[in-house]
Amino acid sequence: MEAFEILFTTSLWVAAIRIASPLIFATMGELICERAGVLNLGIEGIMTVGAFAGWFAVYAGGDLWFGVIAAALAGAAFGLLHGVLTVPLGLSQHVTGIGITLLATSLTYFIYRIALPEVTSPPKIESFQPLAIPVLSDIPLVGPALFNQTPLTYLAYATVAIVAWVLYRTPAGLAVRAAGENPSSVEAQGISVTAVRVGAVMAGSALMAIGGAFLTMSAFNSFFFEMINGRGWICIALVVFGSWRPGKALVGAILFAAFDAYQVRLQQVTGGIVPYQVFLMLPYVLSILALIAVARRATYPKALMVPYQKGER
Amino acid sequence: MDASQGGGAETVLRLAGITKRFGPLVANDAVSFELRRGEVIALLGENGAGKTTLMNILFGHYVADEGEVEAFGEKLPPGDPAAALAAGIGMVHQHFTLADQMSVLENIALGTQRMFAPRFDRTSARARIAKLSQDFGLHVKAEALVADLTVGERQRVEILKALYRDARILILDEPTAVLTPLETDALFATLEMLVARGLSIIFISHKLNEVMAVSDRVLVLRAGRLAGERATAETDRGELAALMVGEEIRTPQVVAHRAGEPVLEIEGVSAAGQGTGAALDRVSLTLSAGEITGLAGVSGNGQAALAALIAGTLVPASGQMRIRRETVSGWSPRAALAHRIGRIPEDRHAIGMIGDMNVTENVISESYRSPRFSRAGFLDWKAAREFAMSIIAAYDVKCPSPEARVRLLSGGNMQKLILGRALDGDPAVILANQPTRGLDVGAVAYVHSQLLAARERGAAILLISEDLDEVLALSDRIVVMSKGRLSPPSRRGELTVREIGELMAGHGVFDTGESHAA
């Protein structure tokens, strides 16, 4: 019974939303890229870059929001690199993406070593603090979980709404979706497929980097190696789980985060009987099962991973 | 559409000295022409003559190596579709440029509003589309997903796309290739209405009867050059065909004769669809010796499944197949070959031939296990090469040697190799699926004459074709396929084109009971 009661504790849901926040940013970022027809496996590395850039900007004396902007710009720069390699040059999106992840991660560690040659334990920064929203945060259970979080979490909520609005309600979003469905429809209407796709990859990569920055600026206060720890790959799965729709992807991110928060607490309840590794595995097993249930029926963007070459015969 | 009205009207479009090269290939060689207001020009030519390339240059998809395009007296910047659109040029591409998972409205209005506007204005777009479809009789639901539309409806969306941007010049690239005869008639009526409103039209086609029906003036392209220009009223199909290929074409004559014994009988067969095509729904069909059965229909209606069934790659879910009165069991591609079924597949690149293997390897690919080409598990390359040489000689295949990679051959020569392989050893049944698709007029006539010769020798032939003219020209009997069902067979000349068109659209006999063609 104890295992069941955990579900109604405030701390579980507070943790779930906190764990979900970086995933929401990065998932929205990946979703934008894929909607434009470009798979971005650079996500893991771009999150690492964002985590470092945001943290380092603040460590070097910048304002917290300046850190967020620094992370976004760094992400967009790697997005530009990925975009140029995969869109006008038409290179394999898989290979380029993995290359970007390796490059971005290693480059980050390298710069960290150069910038801080003598530190043994990573320095801390003054990170974003929870900001209770009056009235709403007083609602039992839901209130503290949703409305007593850091400003970056609120930004994550807003990001979902903005991405959904842009994709479905603006001319630019129309062009992005068309580029992912059939690039020749974009070209035939006098819009540059290259511009749309590279632009989408840059915007998406900026969001991924903010997702990474959440970890150093809102969750852990400092930067250390391997801190992204596969979160980027989870976001790739979340995009599929969400059938390339922002709302569904948000639900997926929160579900995954809730499982993750739940398994930590479950370990304490059943400690000793079941090896803890089983619990660590749980969210991933569940996400595979969820993918099987949901994603088989998904309609994916038709031109995903198909390079478009103007004037090709 | 009167030829005389073109004379005095203003020139809306001028192409001067357009040359485009792809590597060593000259796709367009100094092509120049003018288009006048309210005029329909037909751009006629064989596949590969450079029609589509020329239009893609005009629309800015390609950049010409030499020459320039002028619309309404203004020079168009090269390689910029946005400029072409702004100048009032609209293009309906052969392969539609529509995003399937988006609505009609979204496809039409894409790129017509300020890119970074905070909101996409649906209301005004909907109103404008409603007005245009009213004005031009192009009915289509603005909120429907493109994926749910028929091919004819998609084409209407493409035309609306151009009209939405106030196109004054409309280019249609092989617009009838995918339409049923009824849809083609509707398209022609639309074109007439557009011309009456002062639009100018360039109609690209390789079908002579259509060119004669819609155009005021015909430009013939041959191997990238303008081979001739005629007023439609002053020319005929024969002259145009000769201009297209540069020589007189003799179309083979069909001599009526009696059919022989039934060879392949398919009875009440249902089977899964192939790819996105329809599944077979209780299909019955008998192929008799010395007879060509023509199968007409819009692609995707189950032809692929029927072809796969006969070729042995698809096993019936229910129903029976008999070959020479014996019920078939253990149906497979190898069984089909053992029963002497000669196969000319629909897609010669994907299925018919292996592009990266050489001519010899390809021609023995159906028979390499026979003692003729293998001894004790080792290939007899000498015999294989001789066989390849014999096909090359007999079918006049233009290739450097039997060791040449098939990828490097032209479509017509590839098809000759397939014919040689399929017709080797006098097959009892010949499955000819789109045997002339993408071939030029000369190669088409050759394929037809070979099929007729096989018929004389007593083969039972199934000719599947989307080209209704081809079916009508060669077939002793005609069946029509629609939504996986087969119409009853009709004798040569029994049905009019219109009646066949209605069958293709799924009207009539398909409503009840078993689909029959005994």
- The pLDDT assigned to A40 comes to 97
Question: Once rounded to an integer, what is the mean pLDDT over residues B128-137?
Answer: 92
B314, B305 in Cβ contact below 8 A? yes
- The pLDDT assigned to B258 comes to 77
Question: Once rounded to an integer, what is the mean pLDDT over residues B391-419?
Answer: 86
Question: Once rounded to an integer, what is the mean pLDDT over residues B128-154?
Answer: 91
- The pLDDT assigned to B251 comes to 64
Would B209 be classed as within a structural domain? yes
- In the predicted model, is pLDDT for residue B314 greater than 50? yes
Task: Return d(Cα A264, Cα A280) in angstroms, integer.
Answer: 8
Q: Does B100 contact A186 at a Cβ distance shorter than 8 Å?
A: no
Q: Does B85 contact A189 at a Cβ distance shorter than 8 Å?
A: yes
Closest CA of chain A from B34, distance in Å: 23
Same domain? For B234 and B175 the reply is: yes
**Paired strand residues for B432:** B344, B463
Neighbour tally for A113: CB within 10 Å: 10
**Kind of pairing between the strands at B460-464 and B477-482:** unpaired
Domain at B220, CATH number: 3.40.50.300
Closest CA to B309 of B289, B276, B284: B284
- The pLDDT assigned to A239 comes to 94
Would B151 be classed as within a structural domain? yes
Share of chain B above pLDDT 90, in %: 51
- In the predicted model, is pLDDT for residue A263 greater than 80? yes
Task: Return d(Cα A262, Cα A288) in angstroms, integer.
Answer: 17
Question: pLDDT (tens digit, 9 = 90+) per residue, B11-40?
Answer: 999 999 999 987 777 889 999 999 999 999
Question: Once rounded to an integer, what is the mean pLDDT over residues A274-293?
Answer: 81
- Contact list, B99 vs chain A (CB under 8 Å): 177-178, 181-182, 185, 302
Structure tokens at B88: 């009032």
pLDDT band, residue B159 (cuts 50/70/90): very high
Question: pLDDT (tens digit, 9 = 90+) per residue, A132-151?
Answer: 999 888 888 888 889 999 99
Q: Does A190 contact B120 at a Cβ distance shorter than 8 Å?
A: no
Would B185 be classed as within a structural domain? no
Q: Which of A174, A244, A306, A313 to mutate to test the interface with B (most CBs of B within 10 A)?
A: A174
Question: pLDDT (tens digit, 9 = 90+) per residue, B49-90?
Answer: 888 889 999 999 899 999 999 999 999 999 899 999 999 999
Single-letter amino acid code for the residue at B196: A
**Kind of pairing between the strands at B341-344 and B429-433:** parallel
Closest CA to B57 of B49, B39, B69: B69
Q: Check: CATH 1.10.3470 for A2-124+149-297?
A: yes
* E-assigned strand segments in B66-188: 66-71, 74-75, 89-92, 169-173
**What's chain A's average pLDDT?**
92
Residue from the list B63, B110, B114 with its beta carbon closest to the beta carbon of A189:
B110
Same domain? For B72 and B101 the reply is: no
Same domain? For B82 and B3 the reply is: yes
Closest CA of chain A from B47, distance in Å: 14
Same domain? For B174 and B288 the reply is: no
Q: Choose one of B204, B224, B249: the last residue of a domain.
A: B249
B5 DSSP assignment: G
- The pLDDT assigned to B518 comes to 42
Question: pLDDT (tens digit, 9 = 90+) per residue, A297-310?
Answer: 778 899 998 888 76
Using a CB–CB cut-off of 8 Å, the residues of A that contact B are 169-175, 177-178, 181-182, 184-191, 299, 301-302, 310-311, 313
- Contact list, B116 vs chain A (CB under 8 Å): 170-172
Question: Once rounded to an integer, what is the mean pLDDT over residues B405-415?
Answer: 83
B429, B459 in Cβ contact below 8 A? yes
B276, B459 in Cβ contact below 8 A? no
Would B346 be classed as within a structural domain? no
Closest CA of chain A from B25, distance in Å: 12
Q: In chain B, how many domains are there?
A: 3
Neighbour tally for B258: CB within 10 Å: 8
HEC profile of chain A: CHHHHHHHCHHHHHHHHHHHHHHHHHHHHHHHHHHCCCCCCCHHHHHHHHHHHHHHHHHCCCCHHHHHHHHHHHHHHHHHHHHHHHCCCCCCHHHHHHHHHHHHHHHHHHHHHHHCCCCCCCCCCCCCCCEECCCHHHCCCHHHHHHEECHHHHHHHHHHHHHHHHHHHCHHHHHHHHHHHCHHHHHHCCCCHHHHHHHHHHHHHHHHHHHHHHHHHHHCCCCCCCCCCCHHHHHHHHHHHCCCCHHHHHHHHHHHHHHHHHHHHHHHHCCCCCCHHHHHHHHHHHHHHHHHHHHHHCCCCCCCCCCCCCCCC
Task: Return d(Cα B375, Cα B115) in angstroms, integer.
Answer: 69
Q: Which of A182, A304, A310 to mutate to test the interface with B (most CBs of B within 10 A)?
A: A182
Same domain? For B173 and B69 the reply is: yes
**Paired strand residues for B20:** B28
**Domain chopping of chain A, boundaries:** 2-124+149-297
- Contact list, B101 vs chain A (CB under 8 Å): 177, 181, 299, 301-302
B429, B343 in Cβ contact below 8 A? no
Closest CA of chain B from A208, distance in Å: 22
Question: Once rounded to an integer, what is the mean pLDDT over residues A50-61?
Answer: 96
Residue from the list A169, A301, A311 with its beta carbon closest to the beta carbon of B119:
A169
Question: pLDDT (tens digit, 9 = 90+) per residue, B341-398?
Answer: 999 998 888 888 998 899 999 999 988 888 899 988 899 999 999 999 999 988 888 8
Task: Return d(Cα A5, Cα B293) in angstroms, integer.
Answer: 73
User: B411-423 and B381-394 helices cross at what angle (nearest 10)?
Assistant: 120
Same domain? For B264 and B196 the reply is: no
- The pLDDT assigned to B249 comes to 59
- In the predicted model, is pLDDT for residue B510 greater than 60? no
- Residue A287: how many CA atoms within 13 Å on its side-chain side? 27
B427 DSSP assignment: -
Same domain? For B123 and B84 the reply is: no
Closest CA to B208 of B169, B158, B251: B251
- The pLDDT assigned to A213 comes to 97
Would B398 be classed as within a structural domain? no
- In the predicted model, is pLDDT for residue B248 greater than 80? no
**Kind of pairing between the strands at B11-22 and B25-36:** antiparallel
**What's chain B's average pLDDT?**
88
A12, A262 in Cβ contact below 8 A? yes
Same domain? For B11 and B84 the reply is: yes
B180 versus B476: the higher-pLDDT residue is B476
**First-last CA distance in chain A:** 65
Question: Once rounded to an integer, what is the mean pLDDT over residues B296-318?
Answer: 89
Same domain? For B84 and B173 the reply is: yes
Structure tokens at A205: 């990569």
Would B512 be classed as within a structural domain? yes
Question: pLDDT (tens digit, 9 = 90+) per residue, B332-341?
Answer: 988 888 889 9
* Residue B212 host element (H or E): helix B208-214
pLDDT band, residue B508 (cuts 50/70/90): low
- The pLDDT assigned to B282 comes to 92
Using a CB–CB cut-off of 8 Å, the residues of B that contact A are 22, 56, 61-63, 79-86, 91, 93, 95, 97-102, 106-107, 109-120, 161
Task: Return d(Cα B204, Cα B41) in angstroms, integer.
Answer: 8
Q: Does A311 contact B61 at a Cβ distance shorter than 8 Å?
A: yes
Q: Does A174 contact B106 at a Cβ distance shorter than 8 Å?
A: yes
- In the predicted model, is pLDDT for residue B111 greater than 70? yes
Identify the top-confidence range among B174-183, B218-227, B505-514: B218-227
Question: pLDDT (tens digit, 9 = 90+) per residue, B86-95?
Answer: 999 999 988 8
Task: Return d(Cα B171, Cα B155) in angstroms, integer.
Answer: 13
- The pLDDT assigned to A311 comes to 56
* E-assigned strand segments in B338-420: 341-344, 374-375, 378-379
Q: Does A302 contact B116 at a Cβ distance shorter than 8 Å?
A: no
Same domain? For B79 and B144 the reply is: no
Q: Does B109 contact A313 at a Cβ distance shorter than 8 Å?
A: no
pLDDT band, residue B428 (cuts 50/70/90): very high
pLDDT band, residue A180 (cuts 50/70/90): very high
Question: Once rounded to an integer, what is the mean pLDDT over residues A94-103?
Answer: 97
pLDDT band, residue A283 (cuts 50/70/90): confident
Same domain? For B109 and B241 the reply is: no
Would B497 be classed as within a structural domain? yes
C-alpha distances out from residue A267 to A1, A12, A257, B486, Å: 14, 13, 16, 64
Would B394 be classed as within a structural domain? no
- Contact list, A203 vs chain B (CB under 8 Å): none
pLDDT band, residue A157 (cuts 50/70/90): very high
Q: Does B93 contact A188 at a Cβ distance shorter than 8 Å?
A: yes
Residue A68, judged by CB atoms within 10 A of its CB (0-12, 13-18, 19+), counts as buried
C-alpha distances out from residue A231 to A23, A26, A56, A118, A235, Å: 7, 9, 21, 29, 6
**Kind of pairing between the strands at B490-491 and B217-222:** unpaired
Task: Return d(Cα A228, Cα A23) in angstroms, integer.
Answer: 10
Question: Once rounded to an integer, what is the mean pLDDT over residues B281-305?
Answer: 91
Task: Return d(Cα A268, Cα A13) in angstroms, integer.
Answer: 17
**Paired strand residues for B343:** B431
Q: Does B100 contact A181 at a Cβ distance shorter than 8 Å?
A: yes
Same domain? For B62 and B175 the reply is: yes
The domain in which residue B198 lies consists of 1-88+168-180+192-249
CB pairs under 8 A between A and B: 92
Q: CA Rg, chain B, in Å? A: 25
